[in-house]
Amino acid sequence: MNNKMKSFLCVLVCLFVSVSVFAEDELVTRYMQAANNQFSEGNYERAFTYINNVLSFYTESTVPGNVVVAAELIYYTYLTQIRDTRNYTAFAKFKEKLIEYPYVGSERIRRTVNVINTQEMQDTTWGSDPASAYVSPPAGLSAEEVRSIFKNALDEVDSRTNDRNEELKNELITAIKETDGTVSQYIEDQKTTTKNNQLLFTLIIGFCVALLVGFIIFIIHLIVSSRHAKQQNAKIVEALKIAFQVPARQSLASPGIESLPPPPGSGEENLKVVEGSNTRTDIPPESETEEEKQEFDALIQTCREVGTQIDYVTGRKNNSKNVAELVYKLAIEMGASQYEAMVYYSVALVYDIGFLGVNPNLHYEKKLNQDQKNEIRNHVRYAVERLTFVPERFKHVFIDGVFMHHENMDGSGYPDGLTGSDIPYVARLLRVAESYIALVSKRVYHDINDKESAFEKLREMPNIYDSEIVGALEKII
């Protein structure tokens, strides 16, 4: 702020102070006159009120001496009336004001206060005689003396008012001289400031509009993504209803099972691979007879029940359902028919069935020793012997899924260390789906990842996950 601006503001302050002081002094004079009039008429209580209003405009160091004299006269006369009328309610209020303005309390006022205190105590103890109450004359002063007291007080108030007005007048004249040309400069400065404010306002509006457009685009993206997800879920529901009403693709030849994996503890180092599964797990032809359709329906229902049991034992709520739904979506995205996708869906519901043969306490351990790790890995061996509920024509697909879903593309997985396309197709689907669901879910060994971070972790490990299936996952999420 420059000197001219300071001078201009000084003028405004002086004007405001002048008006305020004038109004204040005028009000003091009116209160003083009112106190005088009421006192002359014998209305000592009203005079007491008005003189207190006058005192409220001053501090002890600034109150005029003649005002204190007039106030003392009113206080003493009103206090004498209180004593004679035994008005102890008024006495209580009087003492409050005496505390507020202690410089008014003269020796005779203090003596009278002590007398009334004693009188009040006696009246409380023995009772009072109302007939004895009378009003004393105003402190034994003549009317001329009273008028003189109030005239002196008013003259001193007026004198102080005139002095203060003269001082403010001189300050105002000086400030106006110092502000030569300040108003014009101030107006020009205000114009410049207004232009700058308009430019800033335009920039803010532009930023808000851009932010709003971005928000609308984001909302549209969310709506489109939500609709896509609903469509995918609708496909799953529809598939459950009409799994047998859609014509099946031409299936590959059903393979024979060379041998089942040895039972746990047999001592053999590796488990055998199901033949004919190099590029894709073969699925038997779609059911044609009513009996076969009912059999497949019963298989899906049983898988759901077993999946619920697996989730309960492992402490992973809805894990089997979530993995199965993702496997179904991946299979559809990769070109499978609804019937084929439903077979993979059924396998995925029970892919961890081997955990039903593992010590359940191991699922809640944050750190495992080597023996415990070996037992966890053996869940794929325990799985095969628990597939007794699976019809014979689907059993090889289930074995491929529950037994080989921990194989990695580079051969670093287990149980057999298979590589690439030697890993059955259903096992590769499960490897991607169950890893993704694990990453976006709470586990004892890691925190929850968001969808994008989870997908990036899978995409960065082509040595473990089938890149084509990971690509299909990207389209889904």
Can you give the pLDDT at residue 400?
96
**Helix residue ranges per DSSP H, 350-393:** 370-377, 379-384
Q: Which of 180, 205, 230 is the last residue of a domain?
A: 180
DSSP letter assigned to residue 101: S
CB 368 within 8 A of CB 359: no
List, for residues 316-352, the tens digit of each pLDDT value: 999 999 999 999 999 999 999 999 999 999 999 999 9
In one letter, which amino acid is 403? F
Say if 65 falls within a structural domain: yes
Q: Which residues of the chain have pLDDT under 70?
A: 1-24, 127-143, 146-147, 157-158, 160-191, 225-226, 228-281, 443-447
Q: How far is CA 207 from the centre of its chain?
A: 25
Q: Are residues 138 and 254 in the same domain?
A: no
Instruction: Select from 76, 66, 78 the least CA-distant residue to 42.
Output: 78
Q: Are residues 301 and 409 in the same domain?
A: yes
User: What pTM was computed for the model?
Assistant: 0.45
Per-residue H/E/C for 440-472: CCCECCECCCCHHHHHHHHHCCCCCCCHHHHHH
Can you give the pLDDT at residue 405?
96
Can you give the pLDDT at residue 244?
34
Say if 435 falls within a structural domain: yes
User: Domain total for the chain?
Assistant: 2
Say if 211 falls within a structural domain: no
Can you give the pLDDT at residue 261?
36
Q: Are residues 282 and 425 in the same domain?
A: yes
Say if 325 falls within a structural domain: yes
Can you give the pLDDT at residue 151?
73
Say if 402 falls within a structural domain: yes
Range of the domain at 270: 243-476
Q: Which of 138, 153, 180 is the last residue of a domain?
A: 180
Q: Are residues 91 and 170 in the same domain?
A: yes
Instruction: Select from 78, 61, 65, 67 the least CA-distant residue to 28.
Output: 67
CATH number at residue 468: 1.10.3210.10
Instruction: Name the residue with tokens 């009112």.
Output: 34
List, for residues 8-52, the tens digit of each pLDDT value: 455 444 444 444 445 567 888 899 999 999 999 999 999 999 999
Q: Are residues 304 and 436 in the same domain?
A: yes
Q: Which of 158, 180, 202 is the last residue of a domain?
A: 180
